[in-house]
Chain A
Amino acid sequence: MNNSAIGQTLPSSKPRAHQQSSPMRRRENLLGWLLASPFLIGFTVFTAGPMLVSLFLSFADWNLLSSPQFIGLANYQEMLFADKLVGHSLKVTLYFALGSIPLHIILGLAIAMMLNTSVKGLSFFRTIYYLPAILSGVAVAMLWRWIFSPDFGLLNAGLAMVGIEGPNWLMSRQWVIPSFILMSLWGVGGSMVIYLASLQGIPTSLYEAATIDGAGWWAQTRHITLPMMSPVILFQLIIGIIQAFRFFEAAYIMTDGGPANASLFFMLYLYRQAFQYFNMGYASALAWLLFFIVLILSLLVLRSSPAWVYYETELKGR
Chain B
Amino acid sequence: MHSALGQWVIYALPPLVVAAFALMAWAERRKAPAGPGFIARNGWPVALFLVVAVGLWAIFMIVMPLMAMIDLSLRPKLPPTQWGGPKDFYTLENYRYFLFGSTTSTDAWNATHLKAFFLTIWVSILITILDFAICYPLAYYMAQVAKPARLRLFMLLLIAPYWVNEILRAFAFRILFASQGVINKALLALGLVDAPVDFIAADVALYSGLAYAYLLMMMFALYNAIETLDRNLVEAARDLGAPWWHIHAFIVVPHAKPGIGSGATLVFMLTAGAIAAPLILGGPKTLWFTPIVYDRFYQAFNWQQGAAYALILLVACIVFVLGVLKVFRLGLGEIAR
A binds B: no
Residues of A at under 8 Å CB distance from B?
A: none
